[in-house]
Amino acid sequence: MLHSISWTQYLLILCIALVIYYTFVWLVYLKGRIPFVLNSKKFSSFYDNANDEELNAILPVTNELAALFVHKQNKHELIMALQKGLQQYQPADEYFKTAINRFIVQESLDKCSIHLGEEDLRELWMR
């Protein structure tokens, strides 16, 4: 039976199996996210109605805060790190604060599995 399969058929079946396998891994373990997508594209849902001036204010903050979500094991640690990261930023307007809060809530759920409520978000902006 193995003599009737050519190398071309074998490699074709192997390639198809690999594509199916890595698609499964991508969907299940990475939840369909592409890790190398730039922040401006990855987080575009946070900035749906933003103009260029607002984006220029928000993107540097989200880029800086994104590093804070790595290796945070508990809620208190995460809140303290975010408070320290937000100390230098004064919310210019309500849109800025809302966009940053949406980013923080989503990233804390995705990367740390920590749910931050309204009280936690208010605590972040206190000095």
Closest CA to 47 of 117, 5, 109, 95: 95
Q: pLDDT digits over 27-47, tens only?
A: 887 765 655 444 444 445 555
More confident residue, 11 or 66: 11
Q: pLDDT digits over 1-31, tens only?
A: 678 889 999 999 999 999 999 998 888 877 6
- Tell me the pTM: 0.58
User: So where are the chain's domains?
Assistant: 1-32, 38-125
In one-letter notation, the amino acid at residue 114 is I
Write the DSSP assignment of 3-59 as a string of letters.
GGS-HHHHHHHHHHHHHHHHHHHHHHTSTT--TTS-HHHHTGGGGTT--HHHHHHHH
> 89-96 — which CB contacts under 8 Å span 24+ positions?
89/61, 91/125, 92/57, 95/50, 95/54, 96/54, 96/57, 96/58
Asked if residues 78 and 108 have their Cβ atoms less than 8 Å apart, the reply is yes
| Helix, strand or coil, per DSSP, at residue 72 | coil
